[in-house]
């Protein structure tokens, strides 16, 4: 069933082949309508006014939290903090939890597969407190090397940061297995970057077993500028606020301040209520499709795209087999620079991402400076693969000398 007609931008551009949903997804009408409806019917500052319109804004914002919390499987909606997105969520943990709980001699485990947003905050935290950063290596197929991971685990391990799904390769990491390994050997806090998890997989925070989980709304049909941090209540309650300002306080004396309860303690300033409402509408849209169907659809496109691209001489595809990936195909074409390839494809209305995908440690391990990445989502169709394959063949003809 074609879902293209649900997305106004795609309807307005019938010749466009949007294959960059891992960067940001397109937005369906229901999300755009929800944003407009909020501003037309409920726009006021939540939690601040005694008048009916402010109460309507508060209700809309609180309702959005409940809806999104249900989708990501957290029974206690107050443990879902709305943030600007994954990057802000991870920086919040690194600053608030990290600087309070880590000290010289402690160890942090990150992975070579991760996005900079789940690598640099931990690297910088380690530098600032004198902790040691351990980097879990990857296998030749682009999976986490769990033997390497196991070797790093020790009583000194205080924090483990791992991605749910790799944005560059589409690798789905075995989070429950990793949690079991960590819990068996340490009492480390586990942070999971779900930027590429929530849009593509059924995520249940309470059953996953991690301590913190971060995600972005704009990659799951929601608006830009809204996302979430989920944390275990006891950890969130013990953490100091990340930002200071309105709504996150209880009492402000001349010489000290006490903090509001969760989630408000971590939501200083006027909340992004409209985008939260938009995100709740995106959740409703994805629920209407069903997350099992979302993954099935992406996988069938990824399998076909991988199969057809791999038949082109000079193509190298990175990452585990298509059946084990989410909606990403990462590849190179001989010595053709991925930026040149992306420019040729753009000439035919095909949008892919070329570059290091904010994963320079991974690119070094793959021994490339960049890859071309086609990423698929609910609105993509077989015709997008046809266009991609034709475009790559055209690029091969143009840069023939570089594809031997
Ligand atoms: N990846 C991509 O093209 P923000 O920008 O905060 O919404 O998400 C950051 C982020 C964190 N982790 C992972 C695994 C991600 O994929 C991203 C964003 C985009 O792959 C933009 S670099």
Dist. CA 114 → ligand 1 center (Å): 10
Q: Structure tokens of 157?
A: 């391990």
pLDDT value for 404: 62
Q: From the CB of 294, is ligand 1 less than 6 Å away?
A: no
Is domain 31-287 in CATH 3.40.640.10, yes or no? yes
CATH for the stretch 290-402: 3.90.1150.10
User: Is the overall model pTM greater than 0.75, yes or no?
Assistant: yes
Q: Is 164 in the pocket of ligand 1 (CB under 6 A)?
A: no
172 touches ligand 1 (CB under 6 Å): no
Residue pair 190/174 in contact (Cβ under 8 Å)? The answer is: no
Is 192 tagged catalytic? no
Give the Å distance between the CA of 216 and the centre of ligand 1. 8
Single out the residue of 341, 332, 321 nearest to residue 398, CA to CA. Answer: 341
Are 198 and 218 contacting, i.e. CB atoms less than 8 angstroms apart? no
Answer for the pair 329, 373: CB distance below 8 angstroms, yes or no. yes
Q: Which atom of ligand 1 is nearest to the CA of 353?
A: 3
Is the minimum distance from the CB of 86 to ligand 1 under 6 angstroms?
yes
Closest CA to 267 of 83, 62, 60: 83
Exposure pattern of 370-398 as b/e (b: 16+ CB <10 Å)?
Answer: bbbbbbbbbbbbeebbebbbebbeebbee
Instruction: Please give the average pLDDT of every successive group of 10 residues along the chain, which has 404 residues.
Output: 94 98 98 98 93 97 98 98 98 98 98 98 98 98 98 98 98 98 97 98 97 98 98 98 97 98 98 98 98 96 97 97 93 97 98 98 98 98 98 94 69
Q: What are the extents of the domains in the chain?
A: 31-287, 290-402
State whether the beta carbon of 196 lies less than 6 angstroms from ligand 1.
yes
Measured in angstroms, how far is the CA atom of residue 384 from the centroid of ligand 1? 23
Taking the centre of ligand 1 as the mean of its atom positions, its distance from the CA of residue 115, in whole angstroms, is: 7
**Separation of alpha carbons 207 and 198, rounded Å:** 14
* pLDDT value of residue 379: 98
Residues 6+ apart with CB under 8 A from 318: 142, 168, 169, 330, 331, 332, 366, 368, 371
pLDDT tens readout for residues 191-227: 999 999 999 999 999 999 999 999 999 999 999 999 9
Model pLDDT, residue 252 = 98
The pLDDT assigned to 400 comes to: 83
67-104 per-position pLDDT tens digit: 999 999 999 999 999 999 999 999 999 999 999 999 99
Longest alpha-carbon distance in the chain: 72
What is the rounded CA–CA span in Å between residue 136 and residue 108? 10
Atom in ligand 1 nearest the alpha carbon of residue 87? 6
């Amino acid at each position: 069933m074609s879902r293209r007609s649900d997305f106004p931008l795609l309807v307005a551009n019938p010749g466009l082949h949007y294959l960059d949903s891992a960067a940001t997804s397109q937005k369906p009408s229901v999300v755009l309508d929800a944003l407009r409806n909020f501003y037309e019917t409920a726009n006021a500052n939540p939690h601040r006014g005694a008048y009916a319109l402010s109460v309507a804004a508060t209700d809309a914002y609180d309702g959005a939290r409940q809806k999104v919390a249900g989708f990501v499987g957290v029974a206690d909606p107050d443990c879902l903090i709305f943030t600007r997105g994954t990057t802000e969520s991870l920086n919040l943990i690194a600053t608030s939890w990290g600087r309070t709980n880590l000290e010289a001699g402690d160890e942090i485990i990150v992975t070579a597969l991760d996005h900079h947003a789940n690598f640099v905050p931990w690297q910088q935290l380690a530098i600032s407190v004198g902790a040691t950063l351990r980097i879990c290596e990857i296998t030749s197929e682009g999976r986490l090397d769990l033997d390497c991971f196991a070797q790093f685990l020790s009583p000194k391990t205080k924090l483990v940061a791992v991605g749910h799904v790799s944005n560059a390769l589409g690798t789905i990491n075995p989070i429950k297995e990793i949690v079991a390994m960590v819990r068996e050997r340490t009492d480390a806090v586990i942070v999971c970057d779900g930027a590429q998890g929530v849009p593509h997989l059924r995520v249940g925070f309470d059953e996953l077993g991690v301590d913190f989980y971060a995600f972005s709304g704009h990659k799951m049909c929601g608006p830009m500028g809204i996302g979430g941090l989920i944390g275990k209540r006891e950890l969130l309650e013990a953490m100091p606020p990340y930002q200071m300002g309105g709504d996150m306080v209880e009492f402000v004396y001349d010489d000290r301040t006490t903090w509001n309860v969760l989630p408000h303690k971590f939501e200083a300033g006027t909340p992004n209520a409209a985008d939260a409402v938009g995100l709740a509408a995106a959740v409703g849209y994805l629920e209407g499709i069903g997350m099992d169907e979302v993954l099935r659809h992406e996988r069938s496109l990824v399998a076909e795209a991988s199969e057809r691209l791999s038949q082109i001489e000079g193509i190298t595809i990175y990452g585990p087999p298509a059946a084990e990936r989410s909606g990403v195909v990462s590849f190179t074409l001989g010595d053709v620079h991925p930026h040149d390839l992306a420019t040729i494809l753009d000439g035919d209305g095909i949008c892919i991402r070329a570059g290091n995908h904010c994963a320079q440690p991974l690119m070094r391990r793959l021994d490339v400076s960049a890859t071309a990445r086609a990423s698929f989502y609910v609105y993509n169709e077989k015709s997008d693969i046809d266009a991609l394959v034709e475009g790559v063949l055209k690029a091969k003809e143009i840069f023939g000398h570089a594809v031997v």
